Amino acid sequence: MLNILLIDDSSFFLKLAGMQFVPPTYSLDTETSGSAGLEKALNSQYDLVITDLNLPDLNGLELIRKLHAHNQDLPIILNTTKDSLEALNIADLDSKVYLCDKQLTTLVARVGAIMAQQKRNRKNKTDA
């Protein structure tokens, strides 16, 4: 099971995502603010964090920096509108940050790809 924390201030998007990321494949926790999401992420064990860029109290990029200061290996999907993606400076992001364009189908595919990569990484570690 992949433990996911989704941070987004849109209750509609959280509800839609909640219908996609269901047990037994996924365990999904949600938060509507960056500060609450940061607290939850620092006090729990997640395989993946998905965050919006434009949160009401803590910018998504700042949230990513704080999370990676605590755990640099945590994969994070920055899920935001296409216009915001185009305006981002990719140099601000590290290799464990994946971009997504706020389309739920794209997000589901991105999560599936990260999940597959994590399985390969675990297998390689056990084979070594």
Task: Please state the three-class secondary structure of the chain as a single string.
Answer: CEEEEEECCCHHHHHHHHHHCCCCCEEEEEECCHHHHHHHHHCCCCCEEEEECCCCCCCHHHHHHHHHHHCCCCCEEEECCHHHHHHCCHHHCCCCEEEECCCHHHHHHHHHHHHHHHHHHHHHHHHC
State the fold for domain 2-127. Rossmann fold (3.40.50)
- The pLDDT of residue 94: 60
Residue ranges per domain, the chain?
Answer: 2-127
- The pLDDT of residue 123: 82
State both tokens at 58. 């803590």
- The pLDDT of residue 118: 81
Q: What is the pTM of this model?
A: 0.86
Is the pLDDT higher at 47 or at 85? 47
Is the pLDDT higher at 71 or at 102? 71
d(CA 39, CA 27): 18
pLDDT in tens, 30-75: 999 999 999 999 999 999 999 998 898 998 889 999 999 999 889 9
Mean pLDDT, to the nearest integer, of 94-100?
72
